Amino acid sequence: MSAPTPVAIVTGASRGIGYAIAEELARRGHRLALLARSTGPLEEAARRLAGAAPAVRAFPCDVRQAEQVAATFRQLLDWGGRADVLVNNAGIGGFGPLHELSEAVWNDTLDTNLRGAFLCSKAVAPQMIRQRSGYIINISSLAGKNAFAGAAAYCASKWGLLGLTKCMAEDLRGYGIRVTAICPGSVQTEFSPHAGKDPARMLQPEDVARAVGWLIEQDARSFPSEIDLRPTQKP
Ligand X SMILES: NC(=O)c1ccc[n+]([C@@H]2O[C@H](COP(=O)([O-])OP(=O)(O)OC[C@H]3O[C@@H](n4cnc5c(N)ncnc54)[C@H](OP(=O)(O)O)[C@@H]3O)[C@@H](O)[C@H]2O)c1
Q: Return the active site residues.
A: 154
Contact 76, 68 (CB under 8 A): no
Please give the Cα distance from 188 to 96 (Å, whole number). 21
By CB under 6 A, residue 15 contacts ligand X: yes
Could you count the other beta carbons within 10 Å of the beta carbon of residue 234?
10
* From 29-37, 73-81, 122-130, 219-227, span contacting ligand X (CB under 6 A): 29-37
Do residues 112 and 3 make contact, with C-beta atoms less than 8 angstroms apart?
A: no
According to the binding rule CB under 6 A, does residue 12 interact with ligand X?
yes
What's the DSSP call for residue 3? P
Shortest reach from residue 94's CB to ligand X, in Å: 10
Among 80, 91, 134, 160, binds ligand X (CB under 6 A): 91
CB-side exposure of 214: number of CA atoms within 13 Å? 13
Q: Which of 18, 80, 134, 231 binds ligand X (CB under 6 A)?
A: 18
Judged by CB under 6 A, the residue of 95, 106, 191, 223 near ligand X is 191
Query: Closer to ligand X at the Cβ: 81 or 216?
Result: 216
- Rounded Cα distance between 109 and 85, Å, is 24
Cβ proximity to ligand X: between 103 and 219 the closer is: 103
> Per CB under 6 A, does 231 bind ligand X?
no
Output 63 or 169, the one with its CB closest to ligand X: 63
Shortest reach from residue 217's CB to ligand X, in Å: 21
According to CB under 6 A, which one of 25, 46, 87, 92 is a site residue for ligand X?
Answer: 92
The arrangement of strands across the sheet holding 85-88 comes to 56-60, 31-36, 7-11, 85-88, 134-139, 177-184, 226-229
Candidate residues 43, 44, 62, 171; the one interacting with ligand X per rule CB under 6 A:
62
Q: How many residues sit in the footprint of ligand X (CB under 6 A)?
A: 31
Which DSSP category does 141 fall into? -
The answer to whether the beta carbons of residues 93 and 52 sit under 8 Å apart is: no
CA–CA distance, 137 with 49 (Å, rounded to integer): 20
Residue from 4, 27, 29, 38 binding ligand X (CB under 6 A): 38
Q: Which stretch binds ligand X (CB under 6 A): 5-13, 163-171, 209-217, 219-227?
A: 5-13
Q: How many CA atoms lie within 13 A of 210 on its CB side?
A: 6
Our finding on whether 171 is near ligand X (CB under 6 A) is no
Contact residues for ligand X (CB under 6 A)? 11-18, 35-38, 41, 61-64, 89-92, 112-113, 139, 141, 184, 186-187, 189-191
